Amino acid sequence: MFERFTDDARAVVIGATACAERADASTVTNEHLLLALMEVEGARTAFALRALGITDRRASLEAALADARRRGGMTKADEQALAGLGIDVGAIVARVEETHGAGALAGDRKDRRWWSGHRSFTREAKQTLEKSLRIALGRRDRSIGAEHILLALTAVPGVVSEALADHGATYATLERAMFGGEADGGTAKAG
C-alpha cells in the first residue's frame, strides 16, 4: 500500500512518527497524523485547511485534542453514552487526577526508554491509512495523497474526527474544499 503513497502522503506518515517522538508518545496516533498533515505546505490539504479556517484556529484545535487526551481519549459522544448509564467521565477524570496527578488518564507517557527505537501506529491510525486507500479507490484516484489521509481522518470515528468536525472540517466540507465541483466522482459517504 505504501508504494502508492505520493510524496506528500509519505511526508505525513514520516512526520507523524517524528511528531510522536517529539511528544514522547509510545505510539503514533491519528492526532500525530493530523499534526503532521498540517505541516505539509503547498498541498491541496493546506489550501483546504486554510479555506475552512482550521489553520487559523490551530491552537483551539490542539487544545481540544489535548483535552480529549486528558479525558482518556473519550469523545463527546462516548461521554454522552456513558452519562446515559449514570457514569460521569468528568468526575472520574477529576478523581484519578487527584490521586495520580494531572494527565494520569492520558496514560501514554513513555517511561519505557528501552523501547524508544520503535513506535507502532495505533489501531485507529492504521485504520485511517487503510481508509485513505479506500477513499482513493472510491474516487478512482491513482495514488494516495495527503488529501485522502485528511478525508480519512474525518471518517474514522474518534477524538480527531470529532475535534475536526467541531471546527467545521467534516468529510463533506473538506471534500468540497479540496475537490470542488468534481466531487461527484467519489461521493463515498463518511462512515
Partner 1 sequence: MTEATDLAERAGDRDPRVGLRAVAALRRLLEQLEAVQVRSARNQGWSWQEIAAELGVSRQAVHKKHGRL
> Which residues contact partner 1 by CB under 8 A?
26, 72-82, 84-85, 87, 89, 92, 96, 99-100, 104-105, 107, 111-112, 115, 157, 162, 165-166
Residue pair 164/153 in contact by the 8 Å Cβ criterion:
yes
14 vs 77, which CB is nearer to partner 1?
A: 77
7 vs 166, which CB is nearer to partner 1?
A: 166
100 vs 142, which CB is nearer to partner 1?
A: 100
2 vs 115, which CB is nearer to partner 1?
A: 115
Q: How far is the CB of 183 from partner 1 (least distance, A)?
A: 21
Grouping H, G, I as helix, E, B as strand and the rest as coil, residue 68 is: helix
Q: Please state, in angstroms and rounded to a whole number, the distance separating the CA atoms of residues 38 and 150.
A: 9
Q: How far is the CB of 115 from partner 1 (least distance, A)?
A: 6
Q: Report the 3 state secondary structure along 41-77.
A: CCCHHHHHHHHCCCCCCHHHHHHHHHHHHHCCCCCHH
